Every structure is written in structure tokens, then in C-alpha cells.
Amino acid sequence: MSKVWAMPNKNTFSIKPIADLIKRYISSSSGYWIDPFCGENPYATPELTNDLNPTFSTAYHLNALDFLKLITKPSNNYNLYFDPPYSPRQISECYKSVGIATNMQTTQSKWYADIKDEISRIVSSGNIVISASWNSNGIGMSRGFKQEEILIVAHGGWHNDTIVTVERKI
């Protein structure tokens, strides 16, 4: 039997079953946790947080791709949260909320692909990426990741489920 947990929430990691999953992986994984779309994620390593919106208390306020490119030395100790805006509309709203215009490059699938390529570069073999989205694609096998767990959080009504994918770099 499924249970409807909560309405969709822009603070994905505050939804109880998602927070429980994250806590489980934090306790069983060593190393640092990077978050390029941090928002109010309390689980990321503070000095490795980024959010485009300057109202969030993060170490950086950059475009996620620019932030990830700052990490020039991949480490055996990097795990990562990947909770980007889920749709071109959400990307546009996010950028506009901080006074940045969107263009074709920021609302196409290549935007996600470029970020996933950087994530693959940064996260070393054996480490974890926890992705939240409306699909279970995660970072993907083509980038060297294997799915370990998928959590589907139903929000009820006409709301899209939140799908959380846990992958380990192989």
C-alpha cells in the first residue's frame, strides 16, 4: 500500500521519506557532500554548497555548472546531491527570480547533460549521487553510475511524484 507523504515542496530534502533516505546514506558513507542546487538542504557540507539565489546561506551563488567547474581536483571523498529545477519552466522561474534572463541554452536538455558530465568528473569510484527529479534517470550508466535504490514519493492528486535515485560511481 502506498502512502501520500506531502504536497510537492521546493525544499525536497525536508520531505520525510527523502530526508530519511539521505540520513541513511550519510551515516553509511564517508566524505563530503556537494550540492550545486542547495536551497535549504541541511545535509550538504557547508563549504561545498551553491545556490543561484543569494538569499540562501550557501558558500557560492553561481550557475550550477560554473560552481561545479570550480572543483578542479576530484576527490575520493566527494558525494553529491543533484536536485535541479525539474523542467524548463522551473529553470526559467529560478533564473528570473534572481534577475537573470534565460535563453535556449539554459532550458534545453544539454543544460542537464553538461552538469551531469561535471558531476561524473568530480565524483570518484565508490561514491554516491542522490538525484531528485520527475524521472529515474539520475546521472546514468553512460557516465559510470549504477543505480542502488529508487524512492518514489507520491504527492497525491495531479501532482507529479518525486523520484529519488541513489547511484554509486563504478
Q: What is the CATH number of the domain that holds 131?
A: 3.40.50.150
8 or 167, greater pLDDT: 167
Quick one: pLDDT at residue 45? Answer: 94
Flag whether pLDDT at 18 surpasses 50. Answer: yes
- Nearest 5°: CA angle at 82, between 129 and 32? 55
In a domain, residue 6? The reply is: no
102 or 36, greater pLDDT: 36
Q: How many residues does the chain have?
A: 170
In a domain, residue 135? The reply is: yes
In a domain, residue 150? The reply is: yes
Quick one: pLDDT at residue 156? Answer: 82
| Longest alpha-carbon distance in the chain | 46
Q: How many secondary structure helices (H) and strands (E) does the chain include?
A: 4, 5
Q: What does the alpha-carbon distance between residue 11 and residue 75 come to, in Å, rounded to a whole number?
A: 27
Give the pLDDT band of residue 122 (cuts 50, 70, 90): very high
In a domain, residue 5? The reply is: no
Q: What are phi and psi of 79, to 5 degrees?
A: -110, 170
DSSP string, 92-124: HHHHHHTT----GGGSSHHHHHHHHHHHHHHBP
Q: How many domains does the chain fold into?
A: 1
pLDDT tens-digit map of 37-92: 998 899 999 999 999 989 899 999 999 999 999 998 767 789 999 988 777 677 67
Quick one: pLDDT at residue 1? Answer: 41
Please provide the distance, in angstroms rounded to a whole number, between the alpha carbons at the two ends of the chain: 33
In a domain, residue 156? The reply is: yes
Radius of gyration of the chain (CA): 15
In a domain, residue 100? The reply is: yes
Domain holding 113, by residue range, is 12-169
Quick one: pLDDT at residue 155? Answer: 86
Burial grade of 169 (CB within 10 A; 0-12, 13-18, 19 or more): buried
Amino acid type, 160: N
Determine what percent of the chain is predicted with pLDDT higher than 70: 87
Tell me the average pLDDT across 14-30: 91
pTM for the full predicted model: 0.87
In a domain, residue 158? The reply is: yes
